[in-house]
Structure formats: structure tokens, C-alpha cells
Amino acid sequence: MDAQDFRLSFGKGLQNQTQGFSFVLKVVVGVLLFLFSIYFAFFHHFANRDFWSSHEARAAMNANSILDGSSNFLPKIYDGSDDLQKPPFYYWLVATISRMRASEVDAVSVRLPSAIAASGIIVLLFLFLWKNHDLYAGVFGAVILLTCIHFGWLARIGRIDMAMAFFTTSSVLAFYQAGKSDGKTKLILLVLTYVSILISVLMKGLPALVLVLPLFAFWIFFDAFYCETTKGSHSKSELLFRSIRDYRMIPGLLIVVFLSWIYFYWINKQSDGKFYEVFFGYHHLARALGNGALRSHPPWFYTYQFFIDFAPWSPIFYGSVIAVFCTKRFKLSSLHWFGLIWFFVMFFVLSLVSYKRADYLLPAYPGAAIFLAVLLSDALKTCLSKGFLTTNMVFNSIAILLLASMIGWVWFVDFYLPKLEPMREMKSAAKIIRKSTGDSLLFFNMEAHALAFHLGKPVETVIGWENLSKAICTKNEAFVLTSPDYLDEMMENFPRFKFDILYLKKESETKGLSRPFVFIKIVSMDHS
């Protein structure tokens, strides 16, 4: 080998080493960017603010009642009443986290399940898309949810919805993957499917089943027709029955229903038969059908709400759906259809329910992300093959997007939210109120769970004027928390009592972000 050949060989080797080092460096930087993005989106100072959500404060009180042994594992709020709006599974989880941290129940314990669940959804979606499509789709799917505004916000709130969304996502992804597998792998995936559904039901109740069962049924039906040409000469009905058998749907669902029934039966027995009436009668049936006492929304509520909540990706998603159905330029794969069906089946089911919340659509987000990620991945590969883009340009664009997301969350959490805290926090008011009395406080015709949590025991809830009369007429003095709207009527109804306003949180102070309230000392003039 002469000197020139040696220089060329050495130069090639050095170039290959440099390219290899550059690739490794990009992978390391990409992984670090994702980890930092997850931290800043879901975990950064997530416990700095007070309990703004009623459910967060209820979760904290319920977990405390479990830890102090006063509830016999059935959650209670601080007035001693059973909290039967939800099954206790999530509250057991919060109590377990507090026990493991050797700490009192606080915002970290209440919100940590949501932040971890959101991170889990990101990881599951990335791995699923990478395996079933390509690495680009996995990255796009993770980036879409990671930079979705409402998804990040819900990861910071201690509600059941994000934790349920994780187990729903786990069940749906495992279900799809089981259809692509066989043997021992298929069995493991089906076990994961039905265990995840079971946990979702234990956490939220029947809505967990109502969301996934229509999706599974529709997908089996669609898959039998869509893959008709690839499954031999079997008839459609044979394919349907074979799919139901292969997915072990009947035994799997029977086990889920049976174990759930044992769980709910135990709760009902512990609550002296109230759980069925409150949880299934009111929070299932009444919410689904509407009864006038619950806020109802029209069927098209989620159409515009999702456009707001899925930003900044919602215009691309809506535009892609319109382009797919209104033009013949896109040939959709099984994975495209799976994402679309996932989203639209859940969207349709939730739209039929009278009582709607933006958070309820959260389990449908991964479906929208799958469809959009696969579509973007295919478009990107076309652009790369034609030379319109380079891998460096794609990497830099994703890096800039993740950096912008991190900066946005830092500004939102460290600069914007602190401005709202004085209007929403209840800790300072609770300190002032408790200094005035160590006696039991009466919450009259109002719920203020965050205030009740910071006040601590004893507190008592009184509903109706007759019950208030019984509560205060047996005492020389009573301390009442209520809405300012009831103050004038209260004075008229109890003319033999003297009313001293000890603390007033006006609506002008809360600016509509929390409910105003008044703290009153009521003294009987017969004993004064």
C-alpha cells in the first residue's frame, strides 16, 4: 500500500469513526432531551402550588383517613362521611406513596401517580410505535403527547384520569399487539390486557369498561373485514368468531367482571349499602343520562374542546383527518386505522354521555397521537428520500421543539402559576380560621375540600336550614363556614343569634378561580 492509498484508507476510517461518534452523540443528546422534557413538563415544581382541584384535596383527606386507621380502608373526608364518589383504589395508592416516603399526605403524594402515569404513557407509545412502524413514528408519538398542552397539565393534577389513562393505554396497546403475536407472547399480552382493564375498573368503575369494550369490538370487526384478503378463504363470520376466541374475550372479561364485583360488593358492604346508590346510581347513571343537577353539555362538546386541549397538534390532526376522508391520496395501513378507531370510538362513546368534562377524553389522546405519528413518519420518509429534508434538519427541529416546550413549562410553572396562587390557595385562610376556634367547624351548604384539608379535624357538614338549626341551637356558640350568599338569609332565619364575621374571602379576591366563603361566629343571645 503506497502513501496515497494509506491516506485515503485512514481518511475513510476516520470519517466512519466521526460519523459513528456523531450518531452516538445524537442518541445521547436525544435521550437527555426527552428525559429533561418529561421532567419539566410533568415533575418540575409540581408540588409548589396548593390543592386547586377539589379531587386533590379529597384524595389527601381520604389517604389520611386510611393511614390513621379511622376508615377501615374505606376513605372518609374530614367530616367523617364516607367518600363514595370513586372506588378507594387511587386513594390506597396515595396512602401507600405517603407511607413509603415516611411523610404526611401532601401534594407530592397526591400528584406523583399522575406524573408517573403520564411518563409511562409516553414510554409505552414510543416503544409501541417503534416496534410496529419505525423509530420516526415512535419519536413523533412521544413528542406529540409530551408537547400537548392539556396532557402536560393533567399530568400535574392529582386526579384519577391520568392514572386510568395509563392502564387504558396499556390494555389497548397490549390488545393490538396480541393480535400480531402468537404462542406464549400472545398469552402474556392478553393477560396484560385484562389485568390493565381490571385495574382501570377498580380505579374508576364502569367507564373503564365502557371505553375499551366498544373499541375492542369495533377493532375485531374492522380487522376481520380489512384483512379479509390475507386470511384465506374463511368467511367474515368465521373470522369474527375466531378473533373473539383468539383474544380470549369471553373468559377474560368474565374474570374482570367477577373480580370487580367482589371488590365493589366489599365496598358496598363496608358502606352499609350506600356505595351502589351513590357510585352507580348517581355518579354513573345520573351522569350518563343527566338529571338537571349535573352540568350537561351538547354532543358536539368534545369537537371544539379537543381542538383546544390537543394544541398545538390539533390543527394538524383535524386537517389530516379531513384530508384522509375527503381525498383519495392517502392509503392507510392497519396502524393508521387502529389509531383513528381508538380515538373516534372513545370520542363517540363520551359524546353520548350527558355530563362531560374535558379530562374524560384523555384516554383517547394516544389514539390520535398514533394516527398522527404514523402519518408524519411516512411523510418524513418521503421528504428524506426526495432530498427535501436531511436527518440533521429533523433532529434539530425536534430538539428545538422540546427545548421550547421546556422553556414554556418553566415560565408557566415558575412565573405564571405563582400569580394565581393567592387567589386559589386555602392554607393561609385555614390558619387564620383555626386560630379563632379549636371546636368543630360547620360547613353549611357548601363544599370546600381544600379548605377542609388544611383546617383538619374536626369539621362537620350541614345541609339544609333545619339541620343547621339543630346544630347551633344546642350550643352557646357555633362556628360556621358558608357562602356569602347565605349570610342575609341566615340572619333572618335565626333572629335570636348574634353573628360575628371573623373572616371573609370575597369574590373580588378569588376572581372566579375559587369559591368565596365567609367564616362566622354565631352566639345565642339567650346565653350571652
- Predicted confidence at residue 6, as pLDDT, reads 44
pTM: 0.89
pLDDT tens for 266-315 read 888 888 888 888 888 777 777 766 665 566 778 889 999 999 999 999 99
Which spans in 297-447 are helix H? 301-309, 314-326, 334-352, 365-385, 391-411, 417-424, 427-436
Query: What φ, ψ does residue 441 adopt, rounded to 5°?
Result: -100, 140
- Predicted confidence at residue 376, as pLDDT, reads 92
Instruction: Reply yes or no on whether the pLDDT at 112 is more than 60.
Output: yes
pLDDT tens for 467-497 read 888 888 777 788 889 888 888 888 888 888 8
Q: What is the mean pLDDT of the chain?
A: 85
pLDDT tens for 12-60 read 554 555 555 566 777 788 788 889 999 999 999 999 998 888 889 888 9
Contact 255, 197 (CB under 8 A): no
Percent above pLDDT 90 for the chain: 36
Instruction: Reply yes or no on whether the pLDDT at 87 is more than 90.
Output: no
pLDDT tens for 380-404 read 888 888 888 788 888 888 999 999 9
Instruction: Reply yes or no on whether the pLDDT at 76 is more than 90.
Output: no
The mean pLDDT value for 133-141 works out to 92
Band (pLDDT 50/70/90 cuts) for residue 211 is: very high
Q: How far is CA 159 from CA 54, 58, 139, in A?
A: 9, 10, 27
Closest CA relative to residue 368, chosen from 288, 302, 300, 298: 302
Q: How far is CA 213 from CA 166, 171, 238, 359, 527, in A?
A: 16, 11, 20, 20, 64
Which spans in 47-159 are helix H? 54-67, 89-101, 107-132, 135-146, 149-154
Counting beta carbons within 10 angstroms of the beta carbon of residue 503, is it exposed (0 to 12), middle (13 to 18) or buried (19 or more)? Answer: middle
